[in-house]
DNA sequence: GTCTATAATTAGATAGAC
DNA sequence: GTCTATCTAATTATAGAC
């Protein structure tokens, strides 16, 4: 159990990523220095380079992890045959997943332009895989006549933009519970998809 | 008409703002240096300070101008009494205004956190005035029974997020014309508002 | 694994010549 | 109004001691 004093490889790594995530979300990747991250963790700037080759890779690791978590959570769900039920579940899943991770979400949407070309391609591929799940639901419902949409690809992006937008204003301290907000958005998504009114 | 050589006060100012807008949109405010802006304009960095007291004010001026333009264009429209017609016009107005100014829009949404407290308050007030126009339309339609919405304030933000999202993917070179895209979004907004199906 | 020290570069902003 | 030169401070990243 003895450990060399000042040596914490298993705990410093996660703390660095947590500090970077919080600072990047608050001030933006370009505005945050490696020294600020180090200060937040309680180490000197040089120590960070034991955990990341450079600042750019630190950003990519955060975004990659977020997208991997998102896909894993989505794919852990059992498939649903009913398109309306599948759309409702996707809506609630997207909202709750994003509301639980405001910092990671903020970074994922705001810092894409600060990724290197290679890193961007990887993140973008994951984003498209995610989008495709919703597109499949909408296309299936369209085929069954449950939804009325003039363009499934456009509708997919419109729904995701609408749902993700909740992260810009929702606060736990507000008037509505997360569940109540999900309900409001779900009614709007259902209407936007052209599902017949109840 | 004789003009001191190298003196271009009436033309350099706009060119600086144009260069800053383009560079901020592409790389982000924090990642762009005053020297880069100067190089884009074709002057030395020191000359920029004849037109702005500092970099922060340059950012604010761009955002303020954008919001002022937005409000002026919106308020130039004649009021419409029919809520459904008003909502359609708002939808098309918002989309075409934003699609025509991708750089200004990008900055307005991404660089809010880089504004000083005082500047942020001013921009936020304008944003809320804009939002209130849509909220009034939805509330009026709700009262008349034309729309079915469980929460007008939430619906306002949801619709704006959906519409603004078009700027992240639409390109003039794509398969759909701007007008076709407006039509697709309008059908979705109409459904999201709970307007009775045609 | 972390520290101190430092290399090499760049940043925002100003002063004074023209 | 613009230029050149410069100040001061901060940046990413590395080297070597412990």
The CATH fold assigned to A53-192 is Tetracycline Repressor; domain 2 (1.10.357)
Residues B172 and B174: their CA atoms lie apart, in Å, by 5
Nucleotides, chain C, CB distance < 7 Å = 1-5, 10-16
CA A112 / C1′ D14 distance in Å: 28
Among the partner residues A30, A158, A193, nearest to B185 by beta-carbon distance: A158
Q: What average pLDDT does this structure show over B101-117?
A: 97
Partners of residue A155 in chain B, C-beta under 8 Å: 184, 188
CA B88/CA B91 separation, integer angstroms: 5
pLDDT confidence bin for B6, thresholds 50/70/90: low
Phi and psi dihedrals of A109, rounded to 5?
A: -95, -25
Instruction: Calculate what percentage of chain B has a pLDDT beyond 70.
Output: 95
For position B198, what pLDDT does the model report? Answer: 60
Is A169 in Cβ contact with B165 (below 8 Å)? no
Minimal Cα–Cα distance from B40 to chain A, Å? 20
pLDDT tens for each residue of B52-70:
999 999 999 999 999 999 9
Q: In chain B, where does the domain assigned CATH 1.10.357.10 lie?
A: 54-192
Per-residue pLDDT of chain A (198 residues; tens, 9 = 90+): 333 445 666 899 999 999 999 999 999 999 999 999 999 999 999 999 999 999 999 999 999 999 999 999 999 999 999 999 999 999 999 999 999 999 999 999 999 999 999 999 999 999 999 999 999 999 999 999 999 999 999 999 999 999 999 999 999 999 999 999 999 999 999 999 999 876
Mean pLDDT score, B157-166: 98
Mean pLDDT confidence for B155-163:
98
Please report the DSSP string for A10-35 in residue order: HHHHHHHHHHHHHHHHHH-GGG--HH
Please enumerate residues of B whose Cβ is less than 8 A from a Cβ of A: 26-28, 30-31, 110, 113-114, 148-151, 154-155, 157-162, 164-166, 168-169, 176, 181, 183-185, 187-189, 191-194, 196-197
The mean per-residue pLDDT over the stretch B173-177 comes to 96
Q: What is the distance in angstroms between the Cα of A163 and the nearest Cα belonging to chain B?
A: 7
Tell me whether residues B157 and A176 touch, CB distance under 8 A.
no
pLDDT in tens, B123-136: 999 999 999 999 99
On chain B, the residues whose CB falls within 8 A of the CB of A162 are: 158-159, 161-162, 165, 192
Residues of A in contact with B148 (CB under 8 A): 197
In chain B, residues under CATH classification 1.10.10.60 are: 1-52
Q: What confidence tens digit (pLDDT) does each residue in A138-182 have? A: 999 999 999 999 999 999 999 999 999 999 999 999 999 999 999
Strand D positions with any atom < 7 Å from protein CB?
Answer: 1-5, 10-16
For C14, which residue's CA is nearest its C1'? Answer: B46
**CATH fold label, B1-52:** Arc Repressor Mutant, subunit A (1.10.10)
Which residues have CB under 8 Å from B181's CB, separation 6+?
A154, B95, B166, B170
B104: its two tokens = 């200004």
CA A62/CA A119 separation, integer angstroms: 11
Burial class (CB in 10 A: 0-12, 13-18, 19+), B28: buried
Q: Select the residue of A27, A154, A192 nearest B181 (Cβ to Cβ).
A: A154
- CA–C1' gap, B102 and D4, in angstroms: 37
With CB atoms and an 8 Å threshold, state whether B159 touches A160: no
- Determine the average pLDDT of the residues in B85-106: 98
pLDDT score, position B60: 98
Mean pLDDT confidence for B35-54: 98
Number of residues written out for chain A: 198
- Cβ–Cβ of A176/B189 closer than 8 Å? no
Architecture of the structural domain at B54-192:
Orthogonal Bundle (1.10)
Q: Which of B110, B161, B183 comes nearest A162 by C-beta?
A: B161
Alpha-carbon gap, residue A169 to B162, rounded angstroms: 14
The H or E element containing residue B54 is none
Q: Span B166-170, mean pLDDT? A: 97
Mean pLDDT over each residue of chain B, to the nearest integer: 95
Contact B155, B138 (CB under 8 A): yes
pLDDT at B9: 67
Q: Which residues of A touch B176 (CB under 8 A)?
A: 151, 154
């Amino acid at each position: 159990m003895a450990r060399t004093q000042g040596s914490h490889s298993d705990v410093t790594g996660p703390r660095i990523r947590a500090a970077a995530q919080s600072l990047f979300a608050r001030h933006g990747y370009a505005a945050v220095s490696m020294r600020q991250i180090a200060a937040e963790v309680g180490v000197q700037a040089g120590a960070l380079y034991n955990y990341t080759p450079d600042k750019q890779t630190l950003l990519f690791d955060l975004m990659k992890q977020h997208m991997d978590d998102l896909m894993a959570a989505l794919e852990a769900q059992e498939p649903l045959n009913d398109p309306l039920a599948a759309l409702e579940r996707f809506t609630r899943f997207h909202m709750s997943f994003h509301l639980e991770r405001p910092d990671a979400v903020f970074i994922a949407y705001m810092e894409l332009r600060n990724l290197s070309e290679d890193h961007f391609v990887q993140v973008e591929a994951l984003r498209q895989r995610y989008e495709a799940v919703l597109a499949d639901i909408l296309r299936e419902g369209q085929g069954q006549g449950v939804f009325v949409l003039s363009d499934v690809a456009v509708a997919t992006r419109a729904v995701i933009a609408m749902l993700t937008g909740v992260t810009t204003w929702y606060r736990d301290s507000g008037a509505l519970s997360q569940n109540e907000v999900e309900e409001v958005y779900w009614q709007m998504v259902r209407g936007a998809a052209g599902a017949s009114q109840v």
